[in-house]
């Protein structure tokens, strides 16, 4: 980070902590060239989120993929599409506000299940049943394809 006082690019981070809103990290920086001190706020950009699989592999977070798996688990459920959109945005916001760019796939699955459980039990059961295999297989593409219906019949 370039020093705003003297232009030196080699500044040091003295202190990092979550800002009060918990969607950003506040960093106190120090410039060894001029002694200047300044503060930066670091915010997660969704496109920078990285999913860490349980086998340690990294993969760029893909909102469309997430949305696909959620929509498939909600297929033919009597739920307002707008509500699904809101739920997905809420999940993404939660991921963004974790203050970390690296997010374990397990954490994403748990957040999705939590959100689904609040909205629709059937969708939750569909998602959760596939999620178990997903954790073993740890392959998100497989996960999405297994969620295609002809998965559990309506249980009402």
Q: Which residues bind Zn ion (CB under 5 A)?
A: 3, 5-6, 8, 31, 33-34, 36
**Looking up tokens 């120090």, which residue turns up?**
30
Whether residue 139 contacts residue 54, with contact meaning beta carbons closer than 8 Å, is answered with: no
Whether residue 29 contacts residue 18, with contact meaning beta carbons closer than 8 Å, is answered with: no
DSSP label at 98? T
Instruction: Report in angstroms how near the CB of residue 136 gets to Zn ion at its nearest.
Output: 52
Instruction: Report in angstroms how near the CB of residue 99 gets to Zn ion at its nearest.
Output: 27
Nearer to Zn ion, 3 or 84 (CB): 3
Nearer to Zn ion, 2 or 93 (CB): 2
Please give the C-alpha separations between residue 135 and each of 33, 54, 131, 140, 144, in angstroms, as whole numbers.
Answer: 50, 8, 6, 9, 12
Instruction: Report in angstroms how near the CB of residue 97 gets to Zn ion at its nearest.
Output: 32
Nearer to Zn ion, 9 or 136 (CB): 9
Q: What are phi and psi of 89, to 5 degrees?
A: -60, -40
DSSP label at 7? -
Instruction: Report in angstroms how near the CB of residue 39 gets to Zn ion at its nearest.
Output: 14
Length of the chain equals 156
Nearer to Zn ion, 3 or 91 (CB): 3
């Amino acid at each position: 980070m370039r020093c705003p006082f003297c232009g030196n690019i080699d500044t040091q981070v003295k202190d990092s902590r979550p800002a009060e809103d918990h969607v950003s990290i506040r960093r106190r920086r120090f410039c060894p060239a001029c002694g200047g001190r300044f503060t930066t706020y670091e915010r997660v950009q969704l496109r920078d989120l990285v999913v860490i699989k349980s086998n340690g592999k990294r993969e760029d977070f893909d909102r469309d993929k997430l949305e696909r798996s959620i929509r498939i688990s909600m297929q033919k459920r009597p739920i307002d599409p707008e509500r699904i959109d809101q739920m997905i945005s809420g999940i993404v916001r939660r991921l963004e506000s974790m203050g970390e760019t690296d997010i374990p796939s397990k954490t994403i699955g748990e957040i999705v299940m939590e959100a689904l459980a609040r909205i629709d039990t059937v969708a939750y059961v569909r998602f959760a049943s596939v999620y178990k295999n997903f954790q073993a297989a740890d392959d998100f593409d497989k996960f999405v394809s297994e969620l295609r219906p002809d998965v559990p019949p309506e249980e009402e």
